[in-house]
Structure 1
């Protein structure tokens, strides 16, 4: 059953298998045309969205905009991994937090290759979408619009955002002492501010775990 499930999700995308793995890949992955893969992606909307946490239309939109930035040229030694596969691996990693080793078995791509794909694709997504979807208010009117959203939708007045944070466990950096130490483990801090519709307004990540105070409000309205 597990093999069948992996096969179904694999067919959701127009993906290819790494050439070096062709000697071990299952026959289940062979013999399907691009048209058939597209048809299955359109038919199994739930499976697609459960696997990557985005629907097929959004996946294609991201691919259209980010694909050219993560596409690699073919060499005389090997064919590059398709942008669709690079994006799928990255979205799966972001959706699950699975290790690169686990993703290696899901996508039949070497984990050391995945360790390069994920940061590269994340940077491409950030560069393409950050200004469009992660814009912190910078004027009094923009902050008032945020406050109105909380008043109208949640009956929560004079609120400029919902702020929360998380300590993300890390391996202790060498010679760092207790700088990253927080309640029994070492961490960096992720902070995020959202509006009344759960849209991110501001994100800060990377502060050392020993720094427990909340960062100062970005671009806050002046009195």
Structure 2
């Protein structure tokens, strides 16, 4: 093979190789561009509990109105007044992609507390927290994770109920093998409560399975000692307030008879059914 022919072959191979490399590079770029970009940064998902509005402005409004005014150039009262005037026009709706940033109205908690005081003679209570097992039809691959203490398969509905038997907060989807207390401590509302979600002096009520906190009251335990008269009266009134959650679950089942039997649908559908029923 003469040198001219050899050089021609080398040039052809180089051209083919360059074309192949270019195609591969373009294919890689296309795949990278097709990858879904991050919808929301992780730290932004924690804004409701760790953001400046939840922490800094909340503390300044309570403890240092002068610094609050220097930050926003207005007093807390003026900010709330302006927010109430415009929030209907700027309010966004929650979607499956992300939660909207909504105005936080502490008056709502105070209204519920007044309701508990008036109807159930238990002041400063702004909700009853409790869990309910939603029965599901077990699939072969569920194992024992959804097997609850009653010997049935279920997912846990954790809810906070107001004085009118309405659901203020719900979380559904935890496996039935978890206890109510364990589910509560893994819900988003637990972290929010730990970061002073409720106004000062207000609290939720629950039964013995929940932890005793500044924001969560539970009955006195008479396991190792006799309760005093005052403690018995306190337990009686707390139990009256706490039973609101049990009654709300009863109303839910009575209105939507599908919960009287095992739900024979996929777990994602179970969550949608429960969320829809509680909303209605």
Select the structure of larger CA radius of gyration. Answer: 2
Which bin holds the TM-score, normalised by the shorter protein? Answer: 0.3 to 0.5
- TM-score (norm: length of structure 2): 0.28
- TM-score (norm: length of structure 1): 0.34
